[in-house]
């Protein structure tokens, strides 16, 4: 996975994407859904995907990708 900070920061549109982030509680890197906020010129973590409990059919990475894509699709439908 690429770093969240490598996400294109030249975009003038809100963008959701899946990337890795360091989880201080576990001391591990985990998949996370981020959002690029052009007005603030920064990425923000929305959801850190840690638990396997509810997603036994998907890995946390797969869930991150699916949910991030759904957020992005819904954002495009609103604009």
Residue range 8-62, pLDDT digits in tens: 556 889 999 999 999 999 999 999 999 999 999 999 999 999 987 766 788 899 9
Q: Which residues contact 8 (CB under 8 A, 6 or more apart)?
A: 15, 36
> Which carries the bigger pLDDT value, residue 76 or residue 17?
17
Largest CA distance in the chain: 38
pLDDT at 58: 87
Higher pLDDT, 2 or 38: 38
- Rounded to two decimals, the pTM is 0.80
pLDDT of residue 55: 62
């Amino acid at each position: 996975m690429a770093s969240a900070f490598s996400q294109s920061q030249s975009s003038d549109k809100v963008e959701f994407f899946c990337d890795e982030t360091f989880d201080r509680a576990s001391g591990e890197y985990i998949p996370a859904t981020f959002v690029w906020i052009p007005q603030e010129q920064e990425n923000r973590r929305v959801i850190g995907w840690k638990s396997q409990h509810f997603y036994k059919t998907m890995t946390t990475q797969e869930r991150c990708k699916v949910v991030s894509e759904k957020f992005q699709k819904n954002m495009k439908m609103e604009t």
